[in-house]
Amino acid sequence: MLSDRFFVSCRALATCARLHALPKEATTFKEVKIIRKEPAKETPPPPKTFLSLLRNSKFIELGDPRGKLVEGRVMQVVGDDLYIDWGGKFLAVCQRPIKNQEKFIRGAVVRIRLLDAELSSRFLGSTIDLTLLEADAKLLGLVSSPLGRSSKH
Amino acid sequence: MPLFRIFFNMTSIGLMRPVTSHSAMCRLLRTSSVPLCCPDTLLHRVPASCVQKWSPRCCLRRLHGGTVASTAAAKTALVTPTPSSSNSNESTRPGARFDDVHPDFALDSATRQRWLSELRTSLTHPDYFSVTDMFTVEDLFNARLHLGHKEGSLNDYMRPYILGSRLSHIIIDLDKTVPRLHKALNFLAHIAFRNGIILFVARQQQYQFMVEEIAAGCKEYAHTRWWAGGVLTNSTSQFGCMVRLPDAIILLSIHNHILDNNIAYYDAARMRIPTVGVVDTNCDPRLVTYPVPASDDSKHSVEFLAKLFAAAIMRGKEKRKSIRGE
């Protein structure tokens, strides 16, 4: 429609807006129609169910953790080991690199490639898996550090 | 009947002096504590010989079924109470919880009547402490409580609580966790309401300090170090004197550091101390009185659950304080 192409500076639209209390955000007549169709959101959203939360979670989106690139936060540093929280159940443990090592401190955000979300396997003779209670990942580089900016590897 | 059994136990441990005060009698009993929502007025501990055939859950049902009025009447028939001279500052003294005189007799009669009637209503009310308002499923989800271990370490007794597995990673069904968490929080609040001792036990080394702080924050006890054998089962020898055992134990992890079951898990069941336990997919939930199927491995989950239990305990304590006017 021709009226769709009228903009806010158009006198006809301005007059219309004043007389009929049209929404001010509209720059064309078509937008007026669209804005008016949206109902006022007053009712609070319904409480989320566990199944819907799970379905829309990052865990499901991740899929198979093997080979996935994620960003994690360093939660603890023990010697040269960094304990990285990537959002899963267990922390990934990686060796601190020699370059920029003073920047790899608690609170630093790092990029890792996940290899396993939980290091557990069945050993010969046992009925149950033995778990190391940690995730396996390869440290790729530093994203940000509380000590300052860093170069990405 | 109970009086006869108590004297029998006393002679069996070689004590011949007559007992006059009720609480002194309790202290001389063998250290098996009566579990669950035992009203504050019922201070006798039923000796272990009487409860050999009772499971912790059976004790629960029996004590819930008994009325406060009947037990209070039985108690007053046995004891000649000696009320203390001053009402003020009773609860603030360090040893106030372990006094000779029953704390109910430190109150004036109007408050005592109100307290006794509240004790009665608290057991019949479906949600006396409104624990259903304390959290939502989304809070549990954000605390990563639904993440389980892998399929290879699944305990068969945890199968009813899991939703399923995705690429061998088990998901715990939080819709099953929610009602069990409500029951656990309600139970803890009731125990705190009745001045019970609650012990936090956690064996994850990385969270031991955090758990100790949270327990201290709600003025309860924590044991997150190496568990010496006999702490519950042989407490008199371990501590060198008679001790009052915890009335409830919160196990924030069923396993110890070598993924074997915690000694507290077995000993609490032996001593008839009810437990609230966070059971992960590789744990055996059978000896836990109030199992809460949830992850116990990430900091978010341990912190969330410990703080939630502490909040329930504080609710119980605050309600007790508001009714008794202490």
Task: For CA atoms B98, B102, B103, B106, give the dihedral sign.
Answer: negative
Evaluate if residue B29 carries a pLDDT over 70: no
**Number of H helices and number of E strands within chain B?**
11, 8
* Axis-axis angle for helices B109-124, B68-78 (nearest 10): 140
The pair of three-digit structure tokens given for residue B199, joined into one six-digit string = 């012990």
Q: Closest to B175 (Cβ–Cβ): which among A50, A75, A90?
A: A50
The rounded distance, in Å, linking the Cα atoms of A32 and B100 is 79
- pLDDT bucket at A12, cuts 50 / 70 / 90: low
Q: What are phi and psi of B319, to 5 degrees?
A: -65, -40
- pLDDT bucket at A24, cuts 50 / 70 / 90: low
CB < 8 Å to A122, chain B = 152
Q: Do B152 and A50 touch (CB under 8 A)?
A: no
Could you tell me which of B293, B275, B296 has the C-alpha nearest to residue B161? B293
* Model confidence pLDDT, tens digit, residues B261-277: 999 999 999 999 999 99
The rounded distance, in Å, linking the Cα atoms of B182 and B137 is 12
| pLDDT at residue number B44 | 38
Q: Closest to B141 (Cβ–Cβ): which among A53, A60, A88?
A: A53
Closest Cα of chain B to A101: distance in Å? 23
Evaluate if residue A48 carries a pLDDT over 80: yes
Tell me whether B199 touches chain A (CB under 8 Å): no
The pair of three-digit structure tokens given for residue A32, joined into one six-digit string = 């007026």
Provide the residue type at B319 as one letter. K
Tell me the residues of chain B between 145 and 174 that have a Cβ less than 8 Å away from chain A. Answer: 146-150, 152-153, 163, 166-167, 169, 171, 173-174
* Model confidence pLDDT, tens digit, residues B173-227: 999 999 999 999 999 999 999 999 999 999 999 999 999 999 999 999 999 999 9
* Model confidence pLDDT, tens digit, residues B77-96: 333 333 433 344 445 555 55
Q: Count of CB contacts below 8 A, A vs B? A: 70
Q: Nearest chain B Cα to A63, which residue?
A: B167
Q: Is the ipTM here above 0.85? A: no
Question: Between the ranges A30-44, B52-66, B106-120, B151-165, where is the mean pLDDT highest?
Answer: B151-165
Closest Cα of chain B to A102: distance in Å? 23
| pLDDT at residue number B6 | 39
Read off the pTM.
0.71
Tell me whether B315 touches chain A (CB under 8 Å): no
